[in-house]
Structure 1
């Protein structure tokens, strides 16, 4: 029963914009993270089909205690998953309606003129939310190896290396066992969508990191000098932190913050596997940190990943976005008060302008101490940056990557 309730809670959190799938799964405190993540992902994939089945079978009208999210999870596992191997009273409730649901599924197949469950899905859904359009990005972990060595490894495994990509269209056209070097990031290899490396030796040994391009951009743009002190404000599960360490060449120090114990434990394992040294993990909300603490007196770079709706992520259900609260805007300002700060990169996965709105408001409070560098040019190219156009401190730059729009 706990599994289905936890999955329903994650779905409900997605619909109200409380976070992404991974974040909500980790924060659920359900002990079997992979099992929960798989059930949520598959339920999302079948969501349009499940909605038709629920409506046709009138399940929610017959069972008033069922929430729409819990009903989806139960019906998915009953008809498309493992047949309700667990579930207690919810299992018994769903099975009472099994004949009606199976009949509705049969009628749906007849209407769609298909014979397999998988054929009920649209092409993009069949591959997973957004997966059919998105290449598999692989970041070479330069703390353990070199790009040339990884390229040679994949060649020996039968892949054809096509060199550096000249356009985004080339990346989209990848198929079979072919791969490219990304046209922007020098340590990012690009493979066809759905290429799976989770069992590959390079992945299990930490020589490669499976990391989307948008996730690689913040550390790349921050570009801290080797030997620098860096704050990663919302660090778990650690891919961006390991990228920072690679850019720093394991010289300097990284202060990594996250409020979730389980995510920090996972992050520690991941960083150790990646060969990262010189990092300090803190189970703490970065917004409560004292920027004047002597511990951070040498921090010159900050990577800031504030919570957002995730509306720019291809595997998220559509949802409304709320404006950032005045309290949160005010709390973000102390990040710019770290005495030795040279550069801060703020980023989010929101499709709309909320990230830039936050930056513009914070900069107006800071006066001329920092200037904003917009992803497509300089300040003033976005309305919220007009207030900081032309103002700067020689060494102070706030960089705003439009990751969600790329």
Structure 2
């Protein structure tokens, strides 16, 4: 399936409520999931602007057979993206109307009093925001490079490095070509929200990973020591797995599981690009993995990031899944309890981090409390990641042994 047709199909699926963005992208027949995801995400981000341009240029009244989702994708790439580098007949169609669309874009900028395309994304006064603007986080892949070298690279590209942030509020003020080091995670750089590095050679070569801070926290908090055996129970698309490998310094072994063939194939490509060597992928439901299989006898650390409602994604796109019903929350929490209980069956496990992208207590505290009650005194929970606990964690080098606790029970971080 061609890129633009695949992107239009994903947009249509979102509008019909057939699933979330990631699920629809990975379920597409288009072979390059990251390219497809980036195009759809950017088209959604420019959605109101594209609708204004299409309406002003009367494109759909002229091209009556052109579906709206496909029109949005084409106009996005023509005016804001990479300039229609592919597309066949759709490329020819869009280019026929290029002058009209560019003229309408110029008029729209004049009406809104802006000079740059990005400024059109700023909402008029009184308009409700579609999603919070969050910084662009970039994790330095220490398997291939170091923070200092990456900072110097960006400085040569014209960026200004402002040092390490002292507060979250400081990160919110980033603009233009300025960036900082995150105040909690030692290998995480922070850029303004609209920064795009998908075409950067550091990204395409695996020297940097485009990974949100929340996604970096589970591996950071698990902090397995170099040489350890680790399970990533619900691993695809693999950013957390590559982070674990970096913390392990490629020493030890990671067993990574996922049920989706396409996601695992994409994950394998990403891990190879990132220089990860100490891993084994398995297309298998983690619930069917035998905890007493001898190959897992040395597993002391487990990262468990199971399927969830996704309700806590701060950059959630406007057409993503609707708020979950009570029935769906009940079904999800039931699955989450089963998979957490199963993870605690591995005989050598000493530390487990359970994480979700959900704001619902049913998927978080209630799951952990229920499982710990079932386990009795075998495990205990540690405090959830807070500003204070992160400040304490950051004093420990990733991969080093954490400070000793008084209790000798096996622990579950939540």
In 2: Cα distance, 1:365 partner to 1:287 partner = 17
- Contact 1:10–1:28 (8 Å) recurs in 2: no
Alignment-derived partner of residue 305 in structure 1: 305
Selected match of 2:413 from 385, 399, 406: 399
In 2: Cα distance, 1:35 partner to 1:277 partner = 25
Say whether 1:372 aligns with 2:381.
Answer: yes
3-state SS in 1 of match to 2:312: coil
Q: Assess, with a 3 A threshold, how the Cα gap between structure 1 residues 303 and 161 changes in structure 2: closer, same or farther.
A: same
* Shift in Å, 1:32: 4.9
* CA offset digits 1:183-224 (Å, max 9, x no partner): 000111112222222333322322221211111101000011
3-state SS in 2 of match to 1:163: strand
Selected match of 1:320 from 323, 330, 333: 323
For these two proteins, the number of residue pairs brought into alignment is 359
* Shift in Å, 1:87: 10
TM-score scaled by length of structure 2: 0.72
- Contact 1:43–1:73 (8 Å) recurs in 2: no
In 2: Cα distance, 1:47 partner to 1:182 partner = 31
Matches within 5 A, 1:32-47: 32-33=32-33, 36-38=36-38, 40-42=40-42, 44-45=44-45
Alignment-derived partner of residue 382 in structure 1: none
* Shift in Å, 1:23: 3.6
In 2: Cα distance, 1:254 partner to 1:345 partner = 15
TM-score scaled by length of structure 1: 0.73
Alignment-derived partner of residue 69 in structure 2: 73
Matches within 5 A, 1:97-246: 123=122, 130=131, 133-246=133-246
3-state SS in 1 of match to 2:374: helix
In 1: Cα distance, 2:7 partner to 2:149 partner = 43
- Contact 2:178–2:192 (8 Å) recurs in 1: yes
Q: Assess, with a 3 A threshold, how the Cα gap between structure 1 residues 232 and 46 changes in structure 2: closer, same or farther.
A: same
In 1: Cα distance, 2:164 partner to 2:296 partner = 39
* CA offset digits 1:104-163 (Å, max 9, x no partner): xx9xx99x96699x79965269xx9647x2222111111122222222232333322221
Q: Assess, with a 3 A threshold, how the Cα gap between structure 1 residues 18 and 301 changes in structure 2: closer, same or farther.
A: farther
Say whether 1:339 aligns with 2:352.
Answer: no
Q: Assess, with a 3 A threshold, how the Cα gap between structure 1 residues 143 and 76 changes in structure 2: closer, same or farther.
A: closer
In 2: Cα distance, 1:199 partner to 1:295 partner = 40
Q: Assess, with a 3 A threshold, how the Cα gap between structure 1 residues 152 and 339 changes in structure 2: closer, same or farther.
A: same
In 1: Cα distance, 2:89 partner to 2:350 partner = 53
Alignment-derived partner of residue 348 in structure 1: 356
- Contact 2:112–2:120 (8 Å) recurs in 1: no
Q: Assess, with a 3 A threshold, how the Cα gap between structure 1 residues 146 and 294 changes in structure 2: closer, same or farther.
A: same
Shifted more, 148-157 versus 136-145: the winner is 148-157
In 1: Cα distance, 2:147 partner to 2:71 partner = 46
Alignment-derived partner of residue 389 in structure 2: none
In 2: Cα distance, 1:291 partner to 1:161 partner = 47
Q: Which runs of 5+ in 2 are unaligned?
A: 79-83, 91-99, 387-405
Q: Assess, with a 3 A threshold, how the Cα gap between structure 1 residues 346 and 16 changes in structure 2: closer, same or farther.
A: farther
Matches within 5 A, 1:1-12: 4=5, 7-8=8-9, 12=13
Q: Assess, with a 3 A threshold, how the Cα gap between structure 1 residues 306 and 7 changes in structure 2: closer, same or farther.
A: farther
Selected match of 1:361 from 355, 364, 370: 370
- Contact 1:27–1:260 (8 Å) recurs in 2: no
- Contact 2:250–2:278 (8 Å) recurs in 1: yes
* Shift in Å, 1:86: 7.9
In 1: Cα distance, 2:118 partner to 2:180 partner = 32
Q: Which runs of 5+ in 1 are unaligned?
A: 64-69, 89-101, 378-391, 401-406
In 1: Cα distance, 2:47 partner to 2:306 partner = 29
* Shift in Å, 1:284: 1.1
- Contact 2:372–2:379 (8 Å) recurs in 1: yes
Shifted more, 344-353 versus 152-161: the winner is 152-161
Alignment-derived partner of residue 404 in structure 1: none
3-state SS in 2 of match to 1:41: helix
* Shift in Å, 1:263: 1.8
- Contact 1:300–1:343 (8 Å) recurs in 2: yes
Q: Assess, with a 3 A threshold, how the Cα gap between structure 1 residues 278 and 124 changes in structure 2: closer, same or farther.
A: farther
